[in-house]
Structure 1
Amino acid sequence: MASASYTEDLTCSICLMIFTDPVILLCGHSFCRECATLSLSSQRQCPQCRAAVPKEGTCLLTNHNLKSLAEKEAEKLQKGHGKDTEGADWLCPEHEEKLKLFCVTDQQLACIICRDGERHEGHKFKPIKEAAAPVRRELETFVQHVSDDICALESLASTQKEEITKTKTKSQQLMTQICRQFEEMHQFLRKREDEIKNDLKHREEDAVEKMSETLHTMETALSESRELEGRVTSALEIKDPERFLKCWSEENNRKTPEHLFRPRADELQVVNTTLCLGPYESHLQFFVWKEMLQVIQPRAELLSLKSDSRNITVSDDGKHLMYSPEIIQSSLSLSLRCKYCGHSPTRPREDTSERYASAFSSSEFTSGQHYWEIEVGKKDYWKIGVKNNYLIYNNQKYVTSKQNKKLTFTGRPQKIGIYLNCQSKELSFYDAENMTHIHTMTEGCMSVPVAAYFEYKFSRGADHYPLKVCCY
């Protein structure tokens, strides 16, 4: 109790805190210097006893003894709150008794009086040291877990940084690869452009040379005819017959006009050489694109098909998958009957029932990235992709093999492009006619090696639209 009273004596009655630089008034009461200054600035009387404070008492004197005691008490309280080992010396704020117990039920410190009070009736208590031991062990374990988690997070963060670096490096490599490949195509296009332009220039030069030769011949004939015309006209201007005949005969060595003049207009013709570049004039882009296919690397996979189905025939080059209808015997009655036994003979017919047939590529993919194209034509049902992972088209609807999910793609392409990335295990489908993306499957369960897979339905005796692998 003495300790609590002692603390109250060192408390400022204005701010209710331990004195800070205490001063004493004429009435004998002490306050913090800041508190006294603020109070006296509004009213000239002691905040505690209301005794008047004259103006000459404005000079506040420091209470050195009180200041020393207050500083020591403040230091003691600060040390008490800063050390866990001195927790037993703390006082109960309600009963001002030492906190020696720990209420397990309320998880708080308590004194002896608190333990016997109504608020803690029926609660479980432990001595502070005994209660602190398991909490300490629990916190030590917790700290260890936190430390382990920090190590794991640091490792993850380091790995993530490495992945970011790898991604940036990969992006830069791909950027370089893209620039190089486009530059190769640009070089090819510039080269073909120069070659086609040079060919056109040579054709132009040849045509102009031929027409220039013809023009030179025409101009020579024209000059000769004009010269002859001038000579004849000059001779005709002579009126005297004797002089006219003498002049004409002497100048032309007695040649007749028929011998002097030979019509040339009927002999010469205008040379009309029409410049033509063949298909490079009308289908330049298409032909150059076809030429570019021969230098582009890599190109679509040259798959070879195989099938174990009875009614499936694979072409000799392994590119076409065709249906071979099975010939079966049918007891179809004929109009003629056997004259000996009276039975109707049988004749063979084609099996036109609806069938499904599948095929695989003869080679398997084990690594890397691959692309191939399949011409599906106008079939109303097909499955294309790889084993256990494929795209299904059935009556104008697209679904996947795994999710059985209907896709929003509504086109009807005649060719389907399939892209397989064995490393990321991604399988993508495209409209090969304009490279429109249809769908990408990211199936983690896709395992390698894996073969290309094909399936389609037959509903007629003969197959006029065989499924085939596109080649370029």
Structure 2
Amino acid sequence: MASGLFHQIQCPICLNDFTDPVSLPCDHSFCRRCITIDMEINSDACRCPECRSTFTRREMRDNRLLRNIVEAARRHLEEHETLRKRVDRTAPPPVTQNNSPSDLMCPKHDDEKLKLFCETDLKLVCFICREEDQHQGHKFKPLKDAAEIKRTETKEARDMLLEEDQALTDLIQKQREEIRMTKERSKVLSAQISAQFEEMHQFLREKEEELKRRLEKEERELVDGMEDTVGRIEELLSDGREEQGVLLSALEIDRCDKLLVWWSEDGQSLVEGIQCERLPKAESLVSLSENLSLGPYESYLQFFVWKEMLGIIKPVPHRHILEDKNDPYLKVFPSGRAVQRTTKKGVFGTKKGETSFAFIKESFTHGQHYWEVEVGEKSSWAVGVTDHDKLNTALVFTSDEGYCIGKDDDDDDDDDEVVMIDIRDKPRKIGVYMDCDRNKVLFYNADNMSLIGKAECNLKMPHSLCLSPGMYQDGSNSDPLTICWY
């Protein structure tokens, strides 16, 4: 491929146009087959053939943009080559030192020079050829005039190719800049993730130390009491054993007179004192058997810590309330968090007068915003965002048709855009993420944060959360939709 794009779309290994290009973390690109063979040859470590930086097989990524650029450049240069060959076929041989003036003589009419150009047949002709039947009605121009016109057209075509060449080259550079910015953005987001997790880790570490200190304090208080009890018991045990020794010594006195002397002096008071005690000493003391406990933290530690952690989590889903517009189809609860369908009849999901939506009071034109809505086991509902003039984008569920993301302009032309969605696990709670800066709305199963679907929409006008509790269905779908607060 002969073009200024040549080096941009050439694999550094095989030196041919990229085939199924892949990119490495270092931003260098290669044909998938070429880099695979290179990795097999250098099986000890995967290194980029250009910069020698290491990578893993899992880090290789399809470079779809480069593949598309290569295909576009190939088509562009093939068209250029086709045009060049066409010019070569029709152009006369250049007059050089090796070309004699006879090269421009008419092959059919001797001694006649080719002085005309037939614009109809695109051939050089002489004056006699012009008068022949095969050229009747054709247009002719002198060679100099025709050559000047074709030279101008050729230059214009070349300029167009050069302009397209430059546009493709600029596109490559722009995409590489986008790749660089994406990587920088990824680093910023990674640092943001680390910082937010570090904040939670710090909270958990501090909470862990606090609970351990509380446990140690309770342990000290209980153990100190038990140690005091052990001291008193040991003191009584020592006194009892001393008295046992005295009594044992008295029992070993053989002479009656000596035994009676001991009795009269010490024995009587000692024995009577022991006998007069109301309870044995062991029964007068109680061994402390307090069970060390953390109270509810012992069994529900993670739950209570999670509740406390909510105080440091910022931001949390918005704590917005719904406006009561006195819609006869809707009942907004006094708290402003829930909306319920009344018993009035109406067809769900069609015209404005028959589709009832409640809106939150706040509207947004920039930034990112997130809400969670409890849908429970309802058989029909809709959750989305709106500009208050028309429903912009909503996730809709009916038990008959399933889930879909719809863009409703509230007109009667039936041109509303609807995309059906297949969901395996029925969500009980829907997360709505509105990114005003990127004009995107995403819907999640808030129980596990799995993505349900997303839609592109124009969020330049103020938008807010909107809810529809669906049809009343004779009371079977009367449960409210509730905005979750944390």
TM-score by length of 1: 0.68
Instruction: Read off the aligned partner of 1:312 and give its amino acid letter.
Output: L
Instruction: Find out whether 1:418 has 2:432 as its counterpart.
Output: yes
Match of 2:253 in 1: 238
Structure 2 residue 298 is matched with structure 1 residue 299: no
Distance 2:145 2:96 in 1: 14
SS of aligned partner of 2:434: strand
Paired residues, what number? 366
Mark the runs of 5 or more structure 2 residues left unpaired by the alignment. 1-91, 349-353, 387-391, 408-416
Q: Could you say which residue in structure 2 is the equivalent of 1:381?
A: 380
In structure 1, distance between residues paired with 2:363 and 2:302:
36
How large is the RMSD of aligned CA atoms in angstroms? 3.6
Q: Which residue of 2 aligns with 1:317?
A: 335
Q: Which residue of 2 aligns with 1:343?
A: none
Q: 1:257 to 1:371 in 2, by over 3 A?
A: same
* Alpha-carbon distance, 1:99 to partner: 6.5
Deviation at 1:169, TM superposition (A): 2.5
Distance 2:123 2:266 in 1: 149
Partner of 2:146: 131
> 5 Å matches for 1:226-375?
226-252=241-267, 254-260=268-274, 262=277, 263-306=280-323, 307-323=325-341, 357-375=356-374
Secondary structure, in 3 states, of the residue corresponding to 2:297? helix
Residue segments in structure 1 that go unaligned for 5+ positions in a row: 1-79, 327-350
Residue correspondence of structure 1 range 185-196 to structure 2 within 5 A? 185-196=200-211
Deviation at 1:463, TM superposition (A): 8.0
Distance 1:191 1:229 in 2: 56
Quick one: which amino acid aligns to residue 181 of structure 1?
A: Q
1:399 and 2:401 are equivalent in the alignment? no
Q: Judging changes above 3 Å, is the alpha-carbon distance between structure 1 residues 157 and 352 closer, same or farther for their aligned structure 2 residues?
A: closer
Contact between 1:386 and 1:450, CA under 8 Å: does it hold in 2?
yes
Q: Deviations over 1:351-401 (max 9, x none)?
A: 999986321111112110011111112210000011220001100611111
User: What is the deviation of 1:419?
Assistant: 0.9
Q: Which residue of 2 aligns with 1:204?
A: 219
Shift in alpha-carbon separation, 1:217–1:464, aligned structure 2, 3 A: farther
| Aligned-residue offset at 1:248 | 4.3
Paired position in structure 2 for 1:143: 158
Residues 1:409 and 1:91: Cα distance change in structure 2 (over 3 Å):
same
Task: Quote the Cα distance in structure 2 between the aligned partners of 1:391 and 1:88.
Answer: 81
Which stretch of the first structure deviates more once superposed, 143-152 or 231-240? 143-152
Q: Structure 2 CA distance, aligned partners of 1:206 and 1:188?
A: 27
Supply the distance in 2 between the matched residues of 1:316 and 1:282 (Cα, whole angstroms). 36
The structure having more radius of gyration, on CA atoms, is 1
Task: Give the AA of the match of 1:430.
Answer: Y
Contact 2:379–2:477 (CA under 8 A) maintained in structure 1? no
Counterparts in 2 of 1:56-95, with a 5 A limit? Answer: 89=101, 91=103
CA distance in 2, matches of 1:416, 1:302: 15
User: Counterpart amino acid of 1:239?
Assistant: D
Question: For the Cα contact (< 8 Å) 1:383–1:393, is it kept in 2?
Answer: yes
1:103-143 superposed Cα distances (whole Å, 9 cap, x missing partner): 6566466789999999x887877554333122101012123
Give secondary structure in 2 for the equivalent of 1:134: helix
Q: SS of the residue aligned with 1:410?
A: coil
More displaced, 431-440 or 192-201? Answer: 431-440
Matched, 1:224 2:239: yes
- Cα distance, 1:277 vs structure 2: 1.0
2-structure distance, mates of 1:209, 1:241? 50
Which residue in 2 is equivalent to 1:333? none
Q: Percent identity?
A: 37
Instruction: Provide the residue aligned with 1:459 in structure 2.
Output: 473
Over residues 8-29 of structure 1, what are the superposed CA-to-partner deviations in whole Å (9 max), with x where a residue is unaligned? xxxxxxxxxxxxxxxxxxxxxx
Distance 1:433 1:90, change over 3 A: farther
1:168 to 183, 187, 209: 183
- SS of the residue 2:421 aligns to: coil
SS in 1 for 2:479: coil
Q: What letter matches 1:436 in structure 2?
A: S
**CA contact under 8 A between 1:356 and 1:458: conserved in structure 2?**
no
In the alignment, which residue of structure 2 is the partner of 1:74? none
Conservation of the 8 A alpha-carbon contact between 1:321 and 1:467: yes
- How far does residue 156 in structure 1 lie from its aligned partner after superposition? 3.8
The answer to whether the Cα contact below 8 Å between 1:92 and 1:110 also exists between their aligned partners in 2 is no
Moved more, 402-411 or 122-131: 122-131
In structure 2, the CA distance between the partners of 1:108 and 1:183, relative to structure 1 (3 Å rule), is: farther
Residues 309 and 357, structure 1, Cα contact 8 Å, conserved in 2: yes
* Per-residue Cα deviation, 1:218-237 (whole angstroms, up to 9, x for no partner): 11111211221122122112
- Deviation per CA, 1:313-339: give whole Å up to 9, x if none: 32333112235557xxxxxxxxxxxxx
Look up the equivalent residue of 1:392 and give its one-letter code.
V
SS at match of 2:316: coil
CA separation in 1, counterparts of 2:311 and 2:94? Answer: 83
* Cα distance, 1:196 vs structure 2: 0.9
Whole-angstrom distance in 1 between the partners of 2:106 and 2:262:
160
Q: Which amino acid in structure 2 is aligned with residue 433 of structure 1?
A: D
Give the 3-state SS of the residue equivalent to 1:418 in structure 2.
strand
> CA contact under 8 A between 1:417 and 1:431: conserved in structure 2?
yes
Whichever residue aligns with residue 405 of structure 2, its letter is: T
Checking the alignment, whether the CA contact within 8 Å between 1:389 and 1:446 is kept in structure 2 is no
Counterpart in the other structure of 2:485: 471
**Contact 1:91/1:99 (<8 A) preserved:** no
Would you say 1:429 and 2:443 are equivalent positions?
yes
CA contact (8 A) 2:367 2:435 kept: yes
Aligned match of 2:15: none
Q: What are the superposed Cα offsets for residues 234-254 of structure 1, whole Å, 9 maximum, x if unpaired?
A: 2112222222222344445x4
Question: Residues 229 and 94 from structure 1, CA distance in 2 versus in 1: closer, same or farther, beyond 3 angstroms?
Answer: farther
C-alpha deviations, 1:201-220, integer Å up to 9, x for none? Answer: 11111111111111111111
Q: Contact between 2:404 and 2:420, CA under 8 Å: does it hold in 1?
A: yes
The amino acid across from 1:442 in the alignment is E
- Note if contact 1:315-1:321 (Cα within 8 Å) is conserved in structure 2: yes
